[in-house]
Amino acid sequence: MNPSPVIFPKPDEKNLAKHAAAAKALEFVKDGMTLGLGTGSTAYWFVILLAERIHKDGLKVTCATTSTQTWDLAKEYGVPVYPLDEVGVMDIVVDGADEVSSDYQLIKGGGAALLQEKIVATASEQMIVIVDSSKMVEVLGQFHLPVEVVRFGAQTTKAAIEKLLGVSDVKSAKTAFRMKGDEFLITDEGHYILDCICEEIRDPKALNLALNQIPGVVENGLFIDLADIVVVGNEGGDPKVLRRSV
């Protein structure tokens, strides 16, 4: 008996822009490449479309993922995934973002995967960010900035982060641990996420460096000078392909 055919999901109306951005990003993928696979509802479409190309056209790629969520998705649809240390330096990582500023700096971590996402992005020759136009902003900070902190002394680390925000070039310095029901959300690496309500982050480069100096902070969701290409999908028409000048 033949195995049942793989059925690849199709986007509904409200996912058309994300799907279009993912499809455009797939045009950058060539046979034999090593890829990083991002996390979230936009990266989801990239994994699905990649799986379809592998299945229908025999495209050969080797992939690492940025979360267990994406690992499981890739496995489910037959995308070859391996631990990052077996893949090494990747040609391209394709990932979503929560905000993209006018100078292509990012806030990521809405899906709590920022640590693995930053490791994979840093280990990739090129980062392609796929978003819909709602993610494009002038100044970062309307989206809460996620900071991954170790569980030991988490309240002490929270106080240190708030103190830093109080003297940083941001509009607001409130924070809140991300919850999952009544429990603290635990990341893939076993940490907490502290969401920082900054409203405006006027100097993301400085804040990125300062946050990562605080003992207890593992990483933060500011992705500075990592995005090379931003693909902005829209519901009709061609996605925009924007390149960060270096």
CB of 168 to ligand 5RP, least distance (A): 22
User: In the complex with ligand 5RP, which residue's Cβ is closer, 129 or 161?
Assistant: 129
CB of 173 to ligand 5RP, least distance (A): 22
User: In the complex with ligand 5RP, which residue's Cβ is closer, 117 or 195?
Assistant: 117
Stretch that binds ligand 5RP, among 6-14, 38-46, 70-78, 193-201 (CB under 6 A): 38-46
Beta bridge partners of 106: 100, 223
User: In the complex with ligand 5RP, which residue's Cβ is closer, 39 or 105?
Assistant: 39
In the set 41, 68, 122, 156, which binds ligand 5RP (CB under 6 A)? 41
Please name the amino acid found at residue 181. Answer: G
Q: Is 36 in the site for ligand 5RP (CB under 6 A)?
A: no
Please state, in angstroms and as integers, the Cα–Cα distance from residue 23 to each residue in 48, 100, 136, 212, following that order.
10, 19, 19, 34
In the set 52, 95, 148, 228, which binds ligand 5RP (CB under 6 A)? 95
Contact 79, 54 (CB under 8 A): yes
Torsion on CA atoms 73, 67, 165, 143, rounded to nearest 10: -10
Stretch that binds ligand 5RP, among 55-63, 70-78, 96-104, 231-239 (CB under 6 A): 96-104
Query: CA-to-CA distance for 84 and 25, rounded, in angstroms?
Result: 21
| Backbone torsion region of residue 11, taken as left when φ is above 0, otherwise alpha when ψ lies between -120 and 50, otherwise beta | beta
In the set 40, 141, 216, 233, which binds ligand 5RP (CB under 6 A)? 40
| Subset of residues 99 to 118 that bind ligand 5RP, contact rule: CB under 6 A | 108-114, 117
What is the DSSP-derived secondary structure letter of residue 98?
S
Q: Is 207 in the site for ligand 5RP (CB under 6 A)?
A: no
Beta bridge partners of 231: 130, 241
Q: Is 141 in the site for ligand 5RP (CB under 6 A)?
A: no
Name, in order, each residue with C-beta under 8 angstroms of 40's C-beta and a sequence gap of 6 or more.
95, 96, 110, 111, 113
Q: Is 96 in the site for ligand 5RP (CB under 6 A)?
A: yes
In the set 24, 29, 93, 98, which binds ligand 5RP (CB under 6 A)? 98
Please name the amino acid found at residue 44. Answer: Y
Catalytic residue ranges: 117
User: In the complex with ligand 5RP, which residue's Cβ is closer, 132 or 160?
Assistant: 132
CB of 135 to ligand 5RP, least distance (A): 7
The CA angle 207-18-117, to the nearest 5 degrees, is 40
Contact 222, 106 (CB under 8 A): yes
Q: Which residues bind ligand 5RP (CB under 6 A)?
A: 38-43, 95-98, 108-114, 117
